[in-house]
Amino acid sequence: MQNLDWANLGFTVRETRGVIVSRYKDGKWSEPAKESGPLELSPYALALNYANACFEGLKAFRGADGVVRIFRPDENARRLIRSAEFLDMPAPSEEMFIEMCAEYVRWNLDFLPPYGYNASMYLRPVLIGTDKQLNLKSPVEATFVVMGIPAGSYSGAKTLTLVTAVISRDFDRAAPNGTGSYKLAANYAPSFHAYNIAHALGFQELLFLDPATKTKIDEFGSSNFFGIKDGTFVTPLSDSVLPSITNKSLQQVARDLGYKVEKRVVPYEELETFEEVNACGTAVVITPIGTITDKPALKSDTVTRVFQFGEPGVCGPISSKLYKTLRGIQDGTVPDTHGWCYIVE
């Protein structure tokens, strides 16, 4: 076992033994191989010039029972394939994706945090177009690499600590009929600027509205939105939102626990009716949102509205229950009745 400060890993890159790589050329993928050190890439590679790149995020856990589980890798595999199809580029099969993730975890097992630190191994599969080409032509060569980091809290905040969010009215994450529902690298770089402004103003999260009309809730910059009211789990239905695997899992957990689930359009005005609001995603799991501030523009001095959820400083009771159940399934302390966990060993 590596000698790491397991309780305070945060989300920083600590390089592990190496990564698992496969390259696509002449119509086929190479045998996945273990590689250490930097990847070689031509400066003319498509991904560097035109962002022909997509990625995934998923986690491996060491359970209370010592078992090593990856959470729903089949879902991530299918989402990567969907992103690659959108980019008209080669993709690994579902089996190859899962096996490369499992192989990465097996090879770097001593970097997998022990049970009891609320930490995991965050896996980052990345698919890039590597053709040396400056024409606007889809890749016929690609590299698929699975890397990872031992990870604790994404934001550095303690679990289930409330954060503040601000609505982004002058920057959109996605375009109407655009790429918001695909996990493309190109969706993220343009959001950093808006995030930097929000962070400088003291907000931790950015909430995006639907880009066409700005009248409906979409999602946060790196996680989905869900609200709780009257014992119902409500999450937006929108073409420009990433289909989150955490959200899908929480919806099922909510149903299993006897709550109603509604996936539907969520008008902006409905914000004031929620008892609990959360951001959810693989990296954060659940981040409870204490307040959402609305302004005409991020840098504007005017505040139009502030929405407050639940009791100040306290994560809502239903959100906490959903969080604990989901984390329990990942840790092997709650029965995995839906067969979500892939057992590595």
Of 16, 222, 249, 278, the one binding ligand COI by CB under 6 A: 222
Tokens 């289909």 — which residue?
Answer: 243
Nearer to ligand PLP, 24 or 152 (CB): 152
Q: Strands, E, within the chain: which ranges? A: 19-25, 28-29, 33-35, 53-55, 58-62, 68-71, 120-129, 142-151, 163-168, 205-209, 217-220, 223-229, 232-236, 260-264, 276-281, 285-294, 305-308, 341-343
Q: Is 86 strand, coil or helix?
A: helix
Of 245, 277, 286, 292, the one binding ligand PLP by CB under 6 A: 245
Q: Show contacts with ligand PLP in window 166-225 (CB under 6 A).
A: 219, 222-224
Q: Show contacts with ligand COI in window 21-80 (CB under 6 A).
A: 57
Q: List 264's β-bridge partners, or say none.
A: 236
Q: Show contacts with ligand PLP in window 15-74 (CB under 6 A).
A: 57
User: Does residue 248 contact residue 340 with C-beta atoms inside 8 Å?
Assistant: no
Closest to 132 (Cα-Cα) out of 50, 31, 74, 221: 50
Nearer to ligand PLP, 32 or 125 (CB): 125
Q: Is 55 strand, coil or helix?
A: strand
The least distance separating ligand COI from the CB of residue 57, rounded to whole angstroms, comes to: 2
What's the rounded Cα separation, in Å, for the pair 38 and 15?
11
What's the rounded Cα separation, in Å, for the pair 277 and 275?
7
Residue 21's binding partner out of ligand PLP, ligand COI, none, with CB under 5 to 8 Å set by partner kind: none
User: Does residue 305 contact residue 144 with C-beta atoms inside 8 Å?
Assistant: no
The least distance separating ligand COI from the CB of residue 343, rounded to whole angstroms, comes to: 21
Residue 332's binding partner out of ligand PLP, ligand COI, none, with CB under 5 to 8 Å set by partner kind: none
Residue 278 sits in the site that holds ligand PLP (CB under 6 A): no
Residue 244's binding partner out of ligand PLP, ligand COI, none, with CB under 5 to 8 Å set by partner kind: ligand PLP
Nearer to ligand PLP, 57 or 141 (CB): 57
Contact string 273-302 vs ligand COI (x = CB under 6 A): --------xxx-------------------
Binding positions for ligand PLP, rule: CB under 6 A? 57, 219, 222-224, 242, 244-247, 281-282
Binding positions for ligand COI, rule: CB under 6 A? 57, 222, 281-283
